[in-house]
């Protein structure tokens, strides 16, 4: 008997079978990898184990007990913890308080955390590298910090089975290595783990076995090597995985004036300086990438350009200053931000979210634009009426980019475009970026951790470190001259 045994697990949402008759096992001291395209049912499978959804059919035996359909608190009491795909900390509480809350015993009569649990919480924060920020508000943490906080919350409960839904999303290569070490350590201490992530190489390096899913079904199982070599898995999930999509012409050596110029930009959060004297030129009708570790200042730069953050310095479009302009005017002028946090309207449908982006268009333009966006992301066309909040992680990312494209941007700023996307969808985005480049319709500014993706498309690259530009130049020189800082 394995520690966890799932048999014929099935979950339907209306007419959609999100998890379809799936079997898998995982034992203590073992990591099972779950891979598959966006919307293939990975998060739903994890939610079924955690009790967040009730299966329509099938069994889940944990240590010999069938827990299928139990409430999440009972399942948590059996030693199961989950790191969710989306970080949702309590904003009124500090980082440490968030972890302490996760440790509260499962009894109304016990609302105090024991000293031992407090120590456990502090130890968990140390393990995930959040030592110095106990008293900060979660809103002060960068994206990766929030992911770390989620892991700390799960660890503080000392789980026997840990479900990790995309722990690597948005992390830089170095951070992924650190997290991988932590996951190995957890396995070594005799826990069972299930890992879902689109960082295929890192998953393959970690897991003992992999299960691949597609449209809710298990399509392959075996060693990570065999599963990744499987023809079906390659077709539905991995795509080409090649660098074939590349710009025909790079614009790094053109003398054309930049579409957007940022000069000596400074941003402060209270007394802390997030950006100091940042200057960048965004290539007209080309692709400019801003790369750097988490917390380096990429998001602050993008938010400042979009008018969402007060800043000092020059931001100009064709010699016209936009610094200090309200965010909506900047957006209307054609400079559109697709934020890392997506900011979708969860209780509105896919179509309503898209239409909001195209609110200023005439009926005919709106229709034409919708067609264009749905052609890039066919999943959005299939799910027009689905609530945005019920979309899978990668589907939400497609909607966020789609909504930004609906605005017909002249300059599109995408903060972490590849976040949570299956490799095959990255291929689609790659192709779209090149198609947009060819159409001469728009200029792109990307903030990326994924250097392979960024350097595939970018004409010019800026490396940000601790709020300053540390290197800039044509993309093809980046790896050689500055790659060691991020790769």
Ligand X SMILES: Nc1ncnc2c1ncn2[C@@H]1O[C@H](COP(=O)(O)OP(=O)(O)OP(=O)(O)O)[C@@H](O)[C@H]1O
- Residues forming contacts to ligand X in the complex (CB under 6 A) are 13, 16, 18, 36, 38-44, 85, 386, 390-395
Residue partners of 407: CB distance under 8 A and separation at least 6: 331, 334, 336, 357, 358, 360
Q: Which of 397, 430 has the CB closer to Mg ion?
A: 397
Query: Least distance to ligand X from the beta carbon of 390, Å?
Result: 3
Q: Which residue is nearest to ligand X (CB)?
A: 394
Query: Least distance to ligand X from the beta carbon of 199, Å?
Result: 12
Query: Least distance to Mg ion from the beta carbon of 44, Å?
Result: 8
101 makes contact, choosing from ligand X, Mg ion, none, with CB < 5 to 8 Å by partner type, with: none
Q: Which of 41, 145 has the CB closer to Mg ion?
A: 41
449 makes contact, choosing from ligand X, Mg ion, none, with CB < 5 to 8 Å by partner type, with: none
Query: Least distance to ligand X from the beta carbon of 484, Å?
Result: 31
Q: Where are the alpha helices (DSSP H) in 317-377?
A: 327-332, 350-357, 363-376
Query: Least distance to ligand X from the beta carbon of 43, Å?
Result: 3
Q: Which of 219, 411 has the CB closer to Mg ion?
A: 219
Query: Least distance to ligand X from the beta carbon of 395, Å?
Result: 5
Q: Which of 35, 330 has the CB closer to ligand X?
A: 35
Q: Which of 19, 141 has the CB closer to ligand X?
A: 19
39 makes contact, choosing from ligand X, Mg ion, none, with CB < 5 to 8 Å by partner type, with: ligand X
269 makes contact, choosing from ligand X, Mg ion, none, with CB < 5 to 8 Å by partner type, with: none
390 makes contact, choosing from ligand X, Mg ion, none, with CB < 5 to 8 Å by partner type, with: ligand X
307 makes contact, choosing from ligand X, Mg ion, none, with CB < 5 to 8 Å by partner type, with: none
Residues engaged in binding Mg ion (CB under 5 A): 43, 85, 392-393
């Amino acid at each position: 008997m394995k520690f966890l045994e799932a048999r014929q697990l099935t979950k339907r949402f209306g007419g959609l079978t999100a998890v379809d008759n799936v079997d898998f096992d995982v034992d203590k001291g073992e990591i099972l990898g779950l891979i598959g395209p966006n919307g293939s049912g990975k998060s739903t499978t994890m939610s079924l184990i955690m009790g967040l959804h009730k299966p329509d059919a099938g069994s889940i035996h944990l240590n010999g007990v069938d827990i299928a359909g139990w409430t999440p608190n009972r399942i948590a009491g059996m030693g199961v913890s989950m790191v969710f795909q989306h970080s949702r900390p309590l904003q009124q509480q500090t980082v440490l308080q968030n972890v302490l809350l996760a440790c509260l015993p499962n009894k109304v009569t016990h609302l105090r955390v024991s000293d031992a649990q407090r120590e456990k919480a502090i130890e968990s924060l140390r393990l995930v590298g959040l030592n110095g920020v106990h008293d900060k508000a979660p809103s002060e943490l960068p994206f990766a910090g929030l992911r770390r906080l989620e892991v700390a919350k799960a660890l503080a409960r000392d789980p026997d089975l840990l479900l990790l839904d995309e722990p690597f999303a948005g992390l830089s290569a170095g951070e992924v290595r650190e997290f991988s070490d932590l996951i190995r350590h957890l396995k070594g201490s005799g826990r069972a783990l299930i890992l879902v992530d689109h960082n295929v190489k890192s998953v393959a390096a970690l897991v003992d076995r992999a299960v691949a899913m597609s449209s809710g079904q298990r399509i392959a199982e075996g060693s990570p090597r065999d599963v990744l070599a499987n023809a079906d898995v390659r077709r539905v999930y991995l795509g080409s995985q090649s660098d074939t999509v590349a710009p025909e012409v790079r614009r790094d050596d053109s003398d054309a004036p930049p579409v957007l110029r940022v000069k000596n930009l400074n941003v402060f959060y209270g007394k802390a300086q997030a950006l100091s004297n940042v200057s960048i030129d965004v290539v007209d009708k080309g692709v400019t990438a801003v790369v750097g570790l988490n917390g380096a200042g990429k998001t602050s730069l993008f938010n400042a350009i979009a008018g969402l953050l007060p800043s000092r310095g020059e931001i100009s479009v064709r010699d016209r200053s936009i610094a200090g302009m309200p965010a909506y005017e900047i957006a209307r002028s054609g400079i559109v931000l697709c934020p890392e946090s997506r900011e979708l309207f969860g209780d509105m449908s896919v179509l309503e979210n898209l239409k909001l982006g195209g609110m200023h268009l005439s009926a005919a333009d709106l229709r034409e634009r919708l067609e264009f966006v749905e052609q890039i992301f066919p999943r959005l066309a299939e799910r027009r009426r689905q609530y945005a909040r019920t979309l899978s992680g990668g589907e939400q990312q497609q909607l966020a980019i789609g909504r930004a494209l609906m605005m017909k941007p002249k300059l599109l700023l995408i903060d972490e475009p590849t976040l949570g996307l299956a490799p095959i969808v990255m291929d689609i985005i790659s192709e779209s970026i090149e198609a947009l480049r060819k159409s001469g319709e728009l200029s792109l500014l990307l903030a990326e951790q994924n250097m392979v993706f960024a350097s595939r498309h970018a004409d010019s690259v800026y490396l940000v470190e601790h709020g300053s530009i540390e290197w800039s130049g044509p993309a093809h020189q980046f790896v050689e001259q500055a790659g060691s800082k991020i790769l």
